[in-house]
Structure 1
Amino acid sequence: MSMERVTGGCQCGRVRYEVGIDNDEAYLCHCRMCQKATGGLAAAFKNVAQAELRWLGAEPDWYRSSPIAERPFCAQCGTPLGFRYPDSPKMDLTLGSFDEPGRFRPTSHFGAESMHEAWLDTSELKRMRSDEYQPLVDRWAKAGAALPL
């Protein structure tokens, strides 16, 4: 697969990026550090070459999350953007920060010692679209904005 440029950024749009990728493989990290950093039960990541990453507009803020790693984020809106070891040529970007996260496919789990198995296959759970929940639709309408889908 040839190198393709894809884009992403934080929720408020202050931090944007463009990165070259050569495949759509991604992974889930279940380690406690990623759970705490994202507030979720796992972090969905795309591993990329730092040389292929270009920050557009504002640079991200960085949090030294441990003695061996740091994480980019937007201090304005709080969006977690990734993870890296400072001495590595590669880093991870959060899938949710990509403009088109649905293109990626999971290929592995990392940090399996902290995995919450009950949350892996939720395909049998009841589903509701955001635009089907009238209190949410009403709140967006009252704010004079469209429901983001």
Structure 2
Amino acid sequence: MTAEADRSGGCQCGAVRYRAKGELGYPHLCHCRMCQKAAGNYFMPLAGVMRSDFTFTRGAPKWFQSSDLVRRGFCGDCGTPLFYDIPEADFINITLGSLDNPDAVKPVMQSNTGRKMSWFHALDGLPLEPQPETPERENTIAASNHQHPDHDTQHWPLGETS
């Protein structure tokens, strides 16, 4: 379990925001094919929070029933995967990448490794891009960034008052 008093998170566009209090249980990387497809990635990092410690602070997700047992919550506006939910359980799993501070939660386990990419062990040996972003490009991206910041905002997008 990973303890922190209060964590916030949400989607890329800011339409769906949430707060998770207390401990995050079983932070792990799931390599199953269903999580790969839901994330559009090679794995999905997840951790559980008790429903009694979880609230939406803005908007609500759309849901996809990915199996008879599980539904997955995502932002209906930008598509960010946010939740892995077993409706009758007393907890909900959040995607760790949707946290405002994902670096604060270190996975403690991997699951469904039968679908783990066979070449993951070689990632640290890949060459790094030789040139970092130029300051001009970084400034252009920053000036036109429509992504919600990694903290709660009273209004979003900025400038809106409702």
- Is the pair's TM-score, using the shorter chain for normalization, greater than 0.5? yes
Query: Do residues 145 (structure 1) and 144 (structure 2) align?
Result: yes
Give the structure 2 partner of residue 56 of structure 1: 57
**Residues 3 and 107 (structure 1 numbering): CA distance in 2 closer, same or farther, change over 3 Å?**
closer
Q: How far apart are residue 44 of structure 1 and its match?
A: 0.6
Q: How does 1:1-149 map to 2 (within 5 A)?
A: 4-22=5-23, 26-120=27-121, 122-128=123-129, 132-134=132-134, 138=137, 141=140, 144-145=143-144
Q: How far apart are residue 106 of structure 1 and its match?
A: 1.5
Contact 1:62 1:72 survives alignment (8 Å): yes
**Residues 84 and 143 (structure 1 numbering): CA distance in 2 closer, same or farther, change over 3 Å?**
closer
Q: Matched residues in 2 for 1:85 and 1:107: separation?
A: 21
Q: How far apart are residue 10 of structure 1 and its match?
A: 0.2
Q: Matched residues in 1 for 2:122 and 2:108: separation?
A: 15
Q: How far apart are residue 7 of structure 1 and its match?
A: 0.2
Contact 1:21 1:48 survives alignment (8 Å): yes
Question: Alignment length, in residue pairs?
Answer: 146
Opposite residue 55 of structure 1, the aligned amino acid is F
Q: Secondary structure at the match of 1:51?
A: helix
Q: How far apart are residue 98 of structure 1 and its match?
A: 0.2
Q: How far apart are residue 26 of structure 1 and its match?
A: 1.4
Q: How far apart are residue 128 of structure 1 and its match?
A: 4.0
User: How large is the RMSD of aligned CA atoms in angstroms?
Assistant: 2.9
Q: Secondary structure at the match of 1:20?
A: strand
Contact 2:25 2:49 survives alignment (8 Å): no
Q: TM-score normalised to the size of structure 1?
A: 0.84
Q: Which runs of 4+ in 1 moved over 3 A?
A: 136-140
Structure 2 unpaired stretches of 5+: 150-162
Q: Matched residues in 2 for 1:92 and 1:85: separation?
A: 8
Contact 1:24 1:105 survives alignment (8 Å): no
Identity of aligned residues (%): 30
